[in-house]
Amino acid sequence: MSERNGALAPTGSACSKKATELFYVTHPKVERALLGPFLSQAAAECGLVILRSADAVVTACIIDSLDELTYWHAVNNGQVCRAFAGSNVPEVSHG
């Protein structure tokens, strides 16, 4: 954190990450995504393994930009789903 105008302000870039798509696990009987966001289709497919529903599918959503909170949420979702699925899916680099 740095001080700006007498108040603490976060340091670092406010620029969005370079993702162009986010992936979600959806089900036709549910309006909203059940799992997600994910940074990769492979990570979302681990969510399919966890969900164990033949009707669930991975869907992609094209995005213009990705804020820090959503990026780290997607990173965490991928790590958790890979852990529960017991998968050897490689992580997306956090660069």
pLDDT at 85: 86
Per-residue pLDDT of the chain (95 residues; tens, 9 = 90+): 444 444 444 444 444 456 689 999 999 999 999 999 999 999 999 999 999 999 999 999 999 999 999 999 999 999 999 999 886 655 655 45
Strand partners, 25: 35, 58
Please state the three-class secondary structure of 43-88 as a single string: HHHHHHHHHCCCCCEEEEEECCCECHHHHHHHHHHHHHHHHHHCCC
pLDDT at 87: 60
pLDDT at 20: 85
pLDDT at 91: 60
